[in-house]
């Protein structure tokens, strides 16, 4: 099936195209909102600016696809393969990305508030400046991921793997980091005020000038944080 046939059938009222072969198709700017694209092959497809809000892309193969500025709000992408895909500026508000493979993908500036990314594979992805407020990232694999300047306020990062991740200048206010692994992660200048770090691993974590006012930490964690110059401690004092 080519792009013209897909659009023609969609505009005629057809909505279900499960497991269709659409690799390398050019659907730039197309409107496919609410389409059932379960298990489709969209590898290396041009989907820039495509409207896919509320669509079903569960189990789809979107590896290497270009979804820059695409509208995917409320879409179901659970179990999809988005490895090395480009989603710069994409809208994924409330999208279901549970268990999705986003390794080495580009999501800079993506709007992902309230998205479900639990157990997702995001290692070495670029999520810099992404909006992830109240997003669900429990048990997500985020090792080496770039989350610099990302907005993770109120996000659920329970038991997430953030080893070596870049979270410099990130907003993690009131985030739940219970049991998260932050070994070697970079959180310089990050705002962790009110965050829950109970059971989080902070081995060689970089927290220079981070704000931990009101954060929930253990005595052992606090002793480690106190060794960092410029860090604002949970009681509001600044260690110099």
Confidence of residue 234 (pLDDT cuts 50, 70, 90): confident
46-50, 122-126, 225-229, range with the lowest pLDDT: 225-229
- Measured from the Cβ of residue 227, the count of other Cβ atoms closer than 10 Å reads 9
Which tokens is 2 given?
Answer: 């080519």
Q: What is the pLDDT of residues 47-99, one digit of tens each?
A: 999 999 999 999 999 999 999 999 999 999 999 999 999 999 999 999 999 99
Asked if 181 and 203 count as a contact pair (C-beta separation under 8 A), the reply is no
d(CA 148, CA 81) in angstroms, rounded, equals: 24
CA-CA-CA-CA torsion sign (171, 114, 55, 160): positive
Specify the residue for token string 């495509």: 50
Asked if 132 and 112 count as a contact pair (C-beta separation under 8 A), the reply is yes
- Measured from the Cβ of residue 121, the count of other Cβ atoms closer than 10 Å reads 21
d(CA 206, CA 199) in angstroms, rounded, equals: 17
d(CA 89, CA 131) in angstroms, rounded, equals: 10
126 φ/ψ angles, rounded to the nearest 5 degrees: -105, 105
Average pLDDT over the chain, rounded to an integer: 93
Report the pLDDT value the prediction gives residue 42, as an integer from 0 to 100.
98
Triad 163, 91, 160: Cα angle to 5°: 20
Q: What is the pLDDT of residues 153-205, one digit of tens each?
A: 999 999 999 999 999 999 999 999 999 999 999 999 999 999 999 999 998 89
Asked if 211 and 234 count as a contact pair (C-beta separation under 8 A), the reply is no
Report the pLDDT value the prediction gives residue 240, as an integer from 0 to 100.
41
Triad 230, 233, 238: Cα angle to 5°: 40
Output the CA–CA distances (angstroms, integers) from residue 225 to 23, 109, 163, 197, 206, in the order listed.
49, 30, 17, 12, 9
Report the pLDDT value the prediction gives residue 237, as an integer from 0 to 100.
54
């Amino acid at each position: 099936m080519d792009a013209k046939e897909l659009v023609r059938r969609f505009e005629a009222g057809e909505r279900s195209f499960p497991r269709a072969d659409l690799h390398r198709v050019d659907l730039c700017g197309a409107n496919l909102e609410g389409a059932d694209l379960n298990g489709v092959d969209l590898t290396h497809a041009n989907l820039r600016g495509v409207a896919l809000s509320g669509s079903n892309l569960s189990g789809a193969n979107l590896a290497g696809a270009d979804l820059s500025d695409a509208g995917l709000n409320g879409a179901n992408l659970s179990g999809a393969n988005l490895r090395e895909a480009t989603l710069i500026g994409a809208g994924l508000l409330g999208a279901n990305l549970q268990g999705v493979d986003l390794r080495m993908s580009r999501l800079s500036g993506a709007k992902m508030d309230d998205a479900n990314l639990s157990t997702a594979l995001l290692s070495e992805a670029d999520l810099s400046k992404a909006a992830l407020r109240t997003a669900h990232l429990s048990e997500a694999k985020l090792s080496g991921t770039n989350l610099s300047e990302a907005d993770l306020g109120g996000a659920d990062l329970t038991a997430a793997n953030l080893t070596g991740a870049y979270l410099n200048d990130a907003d993690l206010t009131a985030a739940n980091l219970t049991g998260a692994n932050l070994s070697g992660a970079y959180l310089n200048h990050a705002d962790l005020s009110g965050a829950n770090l109970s059971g989080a691993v902070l081995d060689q974590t970089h927290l220079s000038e981070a704000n931990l006012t009101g954060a929930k930490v253990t005595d052992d964690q606090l002793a480690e944080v106190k060794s960092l110059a410029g860090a604002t401690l949970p009681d509001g004092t600044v260690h110099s």
